[in-house]
């Protein structure tokens, strides 16, 4: 079984500052992938970034980067230079090698509010 | 390019009434399809997934059922809605399969969701 934990239910960040969203996971799979999604108030789920367990480099996509610490089983999302449009719910998810149907397991999410 | 359509966007139904939510995907073949439910301010709970026509896997026991009558069509149904069925329902797809001994790096792509209120 896989489990994703996001311990920060909500946080404020000042515009133009960086913010780190925590994600820890538990799995018995040797190979797995970690995904981050953004959900604005409108409800759609937007894929942000992916990190594979065997990737040697931390993933980056524009202002998003992943601080992947495999030994600690954490995959924290860093958003640099926050913008007002970054205000949203953020979900961490994982997929294990044994996941039937390429299922994802989601964490409970972190709500981010960017202040001007 | 691939697109996913989900409808209706909002739905208000009385307790005990039937339900049918539809999701279709365009631009891909044999996708994996998923139905999720999200309570207000909470994470996503996977309800059903399908890896092919007529193949449905249920993740949690509940009042709902799913069907996949065509390759790119996924339907969520109920014969009699309960108050506890209220929520935000999301359909998603991902490419099929994966390389042997490698986890798939393909994200799931989501529809815009249906907000279901049971009165």
Which residue, among B34, B43, B101, would best test binding to A if mutated, counting the most A CBs under 10 Å from its CB? B43
* pLDDT score recorded for residue B36: 97
Question: What does the pLDDT look like over B67-115, one tens digit per residue?
Answer: 999 999 999 999 999 999 999 999 999 998 766 677 888 999 999 999 9
Strands B10-13 and A110-115 turn out to be unpaired
Alpha-carbon Rg for chain A, nearest whole angstrom, is 14
A108/B94 CB distance under 8 A: no
Q: Could you give the 3-state DSSP secondary structure of residue B48?
A: strand
Answer whether B98 touches A (CB < 8 Å).
Answer: yes
* pLDDT score recorded for residue A10: 94
Question: What does the pLDDT look like over A51-85, one tens digit per residue?
Answer: 999 998 999 999 999 999 999 999 999 999 999 99
For residues B90 and B64, give the distance between their C-alpha atoms in angstroms, rounded to a whole number: 14
Instruction: Select from B50, B102, B108 the Cβ nearest to the Cβ of A104.
Output: B108
Question: What does the pLDDT look like over A87-109, one tens digit per residue?
Answer: 999 999 999 988 888 899 999 99
Contact residues, B window 40-59, toward A, CB-based 8 Å cutoff = 41-44, 46, 49-51, 57
Assign A36 a pLDDT band (cuts: 50, 70, 90): very high
Among candidate residues A63, A87, A62, A64, the one with its CA nearest the CA of residue A75: A64
Contact B11, B20 (CB under 8 A): no
For residues B117 and A91, give the distance between their C-alpha atoms in angstroms, rounded to a whole number: 24
Q: To the nearest whole number, what is the mean pLDDT of chain B?
A: 93
For residues B77 and B20, give the distance between their C-alpha atoms in angstroms, rounded to a whole number: 5
Among chain A residues, the shortest Cα distance to B9 is held by: A43
Burial class (CB in 10 A: 0-12, 13-18, 19+), A16: exposed
Assign B37 a pLDDT band (cuts: 50, 70, 90): very high
Judged by average pLDDT, the poorest of A39-48, B26-35, B59-68 is: B59-68
Answer whether B108 touches A (CB < 8 Å).
Answer: yes
């Amino acid at each position: 079984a896989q489990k994703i934990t996001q311990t920060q239910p909500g946080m404020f960040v000042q515009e133009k500052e960086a913010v780190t969203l925590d994600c820890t996971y538990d799995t018995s799979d040797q190979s797995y992938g970690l995904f981050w999604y953004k959900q604005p108030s409108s409800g759609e789920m937007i894929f942000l970034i992916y990190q594979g367990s065997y990737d040697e480099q931390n993933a980056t996509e524009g202002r998003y980067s992943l601080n992947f610490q495999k030994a600690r089983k954490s995959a924290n999302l860093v958003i640099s230079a926050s913008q007002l449009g970054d205000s949203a719910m953020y979900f961490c998810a994982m997929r294990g090698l044994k996941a039937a149907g390429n299922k994802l397991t989601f964490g409970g999410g972190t709500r981010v509010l960017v202040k001007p | 390019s691939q697109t996913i359509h989900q409808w209706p966007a909002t739905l208000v139904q009385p307790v005990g009434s039937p339900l049918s939510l539809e999701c279709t995907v365009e631009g891909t073949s044999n996708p994996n399809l998923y139905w999720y439910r999200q309570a207000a301010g909470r994470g996503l709970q996977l309800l059903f997934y399908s890896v092919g026509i007529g193949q449905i896997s249920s993740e949690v026991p509940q009042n709902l059922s799913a069907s996949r009558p065509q390759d790119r069509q996924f339907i969520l149904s109920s014969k009699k809605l309960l108050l506890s069925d209220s929520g935000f329902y999301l359909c998603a797809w991902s490419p099929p399969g994966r390389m042997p001994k490698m986890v798939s790096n393909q994200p799931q792509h989501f529809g815009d969701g249906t907000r279901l209120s049971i009165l």
